[in-house]
């Protein structure tokens, strides 16, 4: 039996979801769970800080460039987002690749 609470986030989940966390693309509850893990795990916090610095560097270096309109349209058309409402909201994004 695990000694951690049911809502405990381990290092594996934290690293898997770190970009969602940095981009603000998770629920408030999930955000808090990851933040709690980061407060108590120096290796994960170090990885978080590194990813945050890389994102800032990329933004600073490439922030003024935009993809050509045709490429942006192609990319956007490859995504489908679904939401099912039946008391519980379930969302997922499908990415199609024809290459």
7 three-state secondary structure: coil
Give the pLDDT of residue 29: 93
Beta carbons of 11 and 42 less than 8 angstroms apart: no
Give the pLDDT of residue 5: 47
Beta carbons of 94 and 82 less than 8 angstroms apart: yes
Q: What is the pLDDT of residues 51-89, one digit of tens each?
A: 999 999 988 887 677 888 998 888 877 776 666 666 555
Average pLDDT over residues 10-29: 93
Selected residue with higher pLDDT from 64 and 94: 64
E strand or H helix at 59: helix 42-62
Give the pLDDT of residue 30: 93
Residue with tokens 């024809």: 98
CA distance 25 to 57: 20
E strand or H helix at 89: strand 89-95
């Amino acid at each position: 039996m695990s000694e951690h609470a049911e809502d405990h986030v381990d290092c594996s989940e934290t690293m898997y979801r770190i970009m969602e966390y940095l981009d603000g693309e998770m629920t408030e509850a999930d955000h808090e769970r990851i933040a709690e893990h980061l407060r108590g795990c120096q290796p994960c916090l170090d990885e978080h800080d590194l990813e945050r610095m890389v994102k800032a560097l990329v933004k600073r270096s490439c922030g003024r460039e935009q993809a050509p309109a045709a490429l942006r349209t192609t990319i956007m058309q490859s995504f489908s987002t679904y939401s099912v409402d039946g008391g519980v909201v379930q969302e997922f994004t499908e990415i199609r690749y024809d290459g």
